[in-house]
Chains A and B, each alone.
Chain A
Amino acid sequence: GAGVSQSPSNKVTEKGKDVELRCDPISGHTALYWYRQRLGQGLEFLIYFQGNSAPDKSGLPSDRFSAERTGESVSTLTIQRTQQEDSAVYLCASSSDLSAQYFGPGTRLTVL
């Protein structure tokens, strides 16, 4: 079946603009995660959705970051008033069995 998909693949924006990143999880996966990967580093957890439960937002670095998920489907990560330090690859993952997470190809965000 189809894996996790993300769009856009690459996004270049100017400092101060808002951006929206999209994630389509694997069908039937109830859990969805967002991570950030800065150049040459490991992944940092941002936010986690599980079914109808309140999301775990403990990894969001500032109030400029927010995310939504519609039911058990698409999620959107929004970054407002982007800063150069937001430049990174943003990875989405989904999970069905509450253990292994399956990742999408990521969105590379460049803030000029």
Chain B
Amino acid sequence: AQTVTQSQPEMSVQEAETVTLSCTYDTSESDYYLFWYKQPPSRQMILVIRQEAYKQQNATENRFSVNFQKAAKSFSLKISDSQLGDAAMYFCAYSRQGAQKLVFGQGTRLTINP
């Protein structure tokens, strides 16, 4: 069974600084997707970024980028120029290719200090 592990229950960063959230996963599949979701106090899960495993290039969405290391089964999220609105729970998630369920990590609570 696939598993996703987030080893940092909490992280904090100064506003405008850069922070990296860690995620590792375990799978025997070769084709899959990885995601980072953000969940603010409103509890709405918001898709931040996704990565297809067959793509070697790391995904980037504005201030958010990932470091995808397939061999190491590592998928970290880097947030540049942190803003107060980035404060939330961040969940790493995995899915097999083709409309499969998401397997989530336990989450990392990110605090932004003004």
A-side residues, CB < 8 A to B, are 31, 33, 35, 41-45, 48, 50, 56, 59, 89, 91, 93, 95, 98-106, 108
Contact = CB atoms under 8 A, between A and B. Distances in A.
Interface of B: 33, 35, 37, 42-47, 50, 52, 91, 93, 95, 97-107
A69 to B, nearest CB: 14
19 contacts: A31-B99, A42-B91, A42-B106, A43-B93, A43-B102, A44-B104, A45-B101, A45-B102, A48-B99, A59-B101, A98-B98, A98-B99, A99-B50, A99-B95, A102-B47, A103-B44, A103-B46, A105-B42, A108-B43
The 7 closest A-B pairs by CB, nearest first: A103-B45, A42-B104, A98-B99, A45-B101, A43-B104, A31-B99, A42-B106
Chain A interface, DSSP helix/strand/loop, else mixed: strand
B44 A105 contact: yes
B27 to A, nearest CB: 15
A59 B106 CA distance: 17
Contacts of B91: 42-43
A76 to B, nearest CB: 19
Contacts of B100: 48
A7 to B, nearest CB: 15
B99 A100 contact: no
Nearest to A37: B43
